[in-house]
Chains A and B, each alone.
Chain A
Amino acid sequence: MSLFIKNAVIVNADQISAQPQDILLERGVIAKIATTINAQPTDVVEASGKFVLPGLIDLHVHLRQPGGEDKETIETGSRAAAKGGFTTIFCMPNTDPVIDNAMIVEAIIKEAKRVGLVNVFPVGAISRGQKGQELTDMFELKEAGCLALSDDGRAVGNAQLMRLALEYAKMAGLLLIEHCEDPTLSHCRVMNEGMNSTLLGLKGIPGAAETVIVGRDIELAHYLKTKIHLAHISLKRSVELIRWAKAQAIGVTAEATPHHFTLTDDMVKSFDTKTKVNPPLRTPEDVEALKEALKDGTIDCIASDHAPHTEEEKEFEYDQAPFGMIGLETALGLAVTELVEKKYLTWPQLVEKMSTRPARIVGLANKGEIQEGKDADMTIVDPQKEWVVKKEEFASKSKNSPFIGRKLKGCVVATICGGKVVYQVN
């Protein structure tokens, strides 16, 4: 089985190809890249005028299966990923039951293979049942296919347990991903604490709920000489702590979401529950700090934190509605519109944030770049095309996006995973 991509302007993290190239994909790998390839493959994808990027990788997705199939399934989530240009996604363990044992990991991988669209890596839980009391069987989770563990949805609140988890995960060769939120500071609170929460009469989550855990985990990683990945960083102050840690050569990496580098808590004034997300939308100052941090490398990568919820659940009052917004299908468009168009990132830097760095962070050596011998995962993008986010066009089972109606630049025209076209615009 082979696929032939013609006239591709290849964008890797280190460069954009000076002239269009032909790419031949065979048996799931990149067989050949050359100015002209004389081959007779069965399928051809014409890419002239488009950018061909290494397949996008999202370290932070909620697929909701098992247990939340009314919100999303592995199948609908895979379709949303493919439509958004993602070829590899990591799904968080806060399902029901929690992804905390080998059987569930294997079942998810099996279902993702049956769906056959994108690579799905389940993120196992750090603590059994995500209860924050005892560690999961990490070697077993690794053997079943996990590359990373997280208690996402909540932090590992107990510092001693986090210490043990970091030590054990280091031995097992697993990455830990922390959801930075001190539960005692954020309990029952629903939006960013500040002027807006005060005027709206909504309970505010202080920024310190995030930074207290960021600071704690940086110190633990330093003390234990190990690595930690910090999920969905939302604050200027967190950025400053991470920047300091990196200057000390502490093994910390971090991600930011498109909604956190695009939206502010002014949006909450509408009381539209689609703006309710955790961590909450912050201030213009924080948005600016995140964009600067992506530019200077303090924040390593962009992750969507795709968090589907049904319309029925989101119809409740702001206090009661669940946290989360979908993001797989708007991530690239937002990154191009907010970061590339506004000159924070170049296209190669965007590729670094959305493919190359995430691949390195979790240790996927054959992904994240377009080179002969690497995996045949690619995203073809029309960099100039503008489009409007429409509710009825989401492939995701849920529609809880605050970006509906927004005009974005940069559109995925085809997604290729394992040498196979898994999404293509008509």
Chain B
Amino acid sequence: MPPWERHDLLDLQELTKEEIELILETAKSFKEVSTRDVKKVPALRGKTVVMLFFESSTRTRTSFELAAKRLSADTLSLSASGSSLAKGESILDTAKNIEAMNVDIIVVRHAASGVPQMLADALGPSVINAGDGCRAHPTQALLDLFTIKERFGRIEGLKVGIVGDILHSRVARSNIWGLTKLGARVTLCGPATLMPVGIEQTGARVTYDLKDILKDSNVLMVLRLQKERQEEKFLPSLREYAKMFGINKEKLKIALKDVLIMHPGPTNRGLEISAEVADGPHSVILEQVTNGVAIRMAVLYLVAGTKGIPPP
């Protein structure tokens, strides 16, 4: 496998198939670390990782934090409300101040698309995108790929259906890149008002009929419907959404016997997914969370460029 050479991880769109596979392979060895009695390796000892979260997040932030700690890095967590951003400082200014403290990696999440790229262009430390606006969420897509590969032993040739609010979903965008690069066939499904213009040009297919993806998908990714979007009136009602696009046991009757149900969390139970399905035998939602830590360890490890230190 080629060595990792990227300074930042901003999106899967820019990665090659080989680079994605390298991350997945690296994560495999790190996954084992989290099952040990002493869950720590010295790979990033002496490195400082800053979590710069301008948008609320529990799952991703704790996952990154745990990943960094299990690699023995020093971590610092900053959220928007506690920072000077609230005092009118520009994002670039905040980041430059953090850079001045000689940190090695900045993990950033922001509600505005493009912020990780702005920071990567302006700063010395490596930047890892932990989700920006509607643009990209590369580590989520990577952990999804990892989970699928773990279950099926491959990605190539699988049919993956992604259902929900595609328009506002960075998870969908990053997954489209990751899945298609690794040879899966992606079909998007959701209401027409939440389907972004020109998305077919990524190579993904689009359908508005849930049955289209239910009947032959190996994997069903269910996206979170952000209820805030309802204020913008993209949908007639949440009730109609649940009826047309929600996943429940009844609808799954036509699905493949070994279909994998995924969700990036947090779930709106009863809206996009029923509790029965989320907790059911097809669901790998909690495995996704477990694998998230391994993927983030791999990404931190690779980006830190600690060559010479072998993974455990």
Interface residues of A (CB under 8 A from B): 193-195, 197-204, 206, 270-271, 312, 315-320
Report the minimal beta-carbon distance from B89 to chain A, rounded to whole angstroms: 10
> Are B91 and A202 closer than 8 Å at their CB atoms?
no
Bound CA span A234–B243, Å: 41
Q: What does the 1/0 interface line of B179-204 toward A look like (CB < 8 Å)? A: 00000000000000000111101100
B122-141 interface (Cβ within 8 A of A): 132-136
Measured between beta carbons, the chain A residues less than 8 angstroms from B75 are none
Asked if B78 is at the interface (CB within 8 A of a chain A CB), the reply is no
> Are B198 and A198 closer than 8 Å at their CB atoms?
yes
> Are A319 and B197 closer than 8 Å at their CB atoms?
no
Task: Given A197-B197, A201-B170, A312-B90, check contact A317 B110 (CB 8 Å).
Answer: yes
Measured between beta carbons, the chain A residues less than 8 angstroms from B207 are none
Q: What does the 1/0 interface line of B117-160 toward A look like (CB < 8 Å)? A: 11000000000000011111000000000000000000000000
Q: Could you list 6 A-B pairs, sorted by A, with CB under 8 Å?
A: A195-B201, A199-B135, A201-B136, A202-B114, A202-B134, A204-B197
> Are A198 and B197 closer than 8 Å at their CB atoms?
yes
> Are B135 and A193 closer than 8 Å at their CB atoms?
no
Asked if B49 is at the interface (CB within 8 A of a chain A CB), the reply is no
Task: Given A198-B197, A201-B113, A201-B170, check contact A315 B13 (CB 8 Å).
Answer: no
Report the minimal beta-carbon distance from B148 to chain A, rounded to whole angstroms: 23
> Are B202 and A199 closer than 8 Å at their CB atoms?
yes
> Are A319 and B113 closer than 8 Å at their CB atoms?
yes
Asked if B286 is at the interface (CB within 8 A of a chain A CB), the reply is no
Measured between beta carbons, the chain B residues less than 8 angstroms from A319 are 111-113, 133
Bound CA span A199–B136, Å: 9
Measured between beta carbons, the chain A residues less than 8 angstroms from B110 are 317
Report the minimal beta-carbon distance from B212 to chain A, rounded to whole angstroms: 21
Other-chain residue from A204, A206, A271 in contact with B114 (beta carbon distance below 8 A): A271
- Interface size classification for chain B: 20 to 34
B33-54 interface (Cβ within 8 A of A): none
Bound CA span A195–B196, Å: 8
Asked if B115 is at the interface (CB within 8 A of a chain A CB), the reply is yes
Measured between beta carbons, the chain A residues less than 8 angstroms from B61 are none
Measured between beta carbons, the chain B residues less than 8 angstroms from A204 are 196-197
Other-chain residue from B90, B132, B136 in contact with A316 (beta carbon distance below 8 A): B90
Measured between beta carbons, the chain B residues less than 8 angstroms from A203 are 134
> Are B133 and A271 closer than 8 Å at their CB atoms?
no
Report the minimal beta-carbon distance from A200 to chain B, rounded to whole angstroms: 6
> Are A317 and B118 closer than 8 Å at their CB atoms?
yes
Residue of B nearest to A314 (CB): B90
Asked if B92 is at the interface (CB within 8 A of a chain A CB), the reply is yes
Bound CA span A271–B196, Å: 19
> Are A195 and B113 closer than 8 Å at their CB atoms?
no
Bound CA span A200–B118, Å: 13
Measured between beta carbons, the chain A residues less than 8 angstroms from B118 are 271, 317
> Are A200 and B135 closer than 8 Å at their CB atoms?
yes
Asked if B263 is at the interface (CB within 8 A of a chain A CB), the reply is no
> Are B113 and A318 closer than 8 Å at their CB atoms?
yes
> Are B201 and A201 closer than 8 Å at their CB atoms?
no
Other-chain residue from A194, A198, A317 in contact with B112 (beta carbon distance below 8 A): A317
Residue of A nearest to B115 (CB): A317
> Are A317 and B197 closer than 8 Å at their CB atoms?
no
Task: Given A194-B198, A317-B114, A320-B112, check contact A201 B90 (CB 8 Å).
Answer: no
Measured between beta carbons, the chain A residues less than 8 angstroms from B90 are 312, 315-316
> Are A198 and B196 closer than 8 Å at their CB atoms?
yes
Residue of B nearest to A196 (CB): B198
Bound CA span A317–B94, Å: 13
Asked if B109 is at the interface (CB within 8 A of a chain A CB), the reply is no
Measured between beta carbons, the chain B residues less than 8 angstroms from A199 are 13, 135, 173, 202
Report the minimal beta-carbon distance from B17 to chain A, rounded to whole angstroms: 19
Measured between beta carbons, the chain B residues less than 8 angstroms from A200 are 113-114, 135
Measured between beta carbons, the chain B residues less than 8 angstroms from A197 are 196-197
> Are A318 and B114 closer than 8 Å at their CB atoms?
yes
Measured between beta carbons, the chain A residues less than 8 angstroms from B113 are 200-202, 271, 318-319
Measured between beta carbons, the chain B residues less than 8 angstroms from A270 are 117
Measured between beta carbons, the chain B residues less than 8 angstroms from A312 are 90
Measured between beta carbons, the chain B residues less than 8 angstroms from A202 are 113-114, 133-135
Q: What does the 1/0 interface line of B76-107 toward A look like (CB < 8 Å)? A: 00000000000000111100000000000000
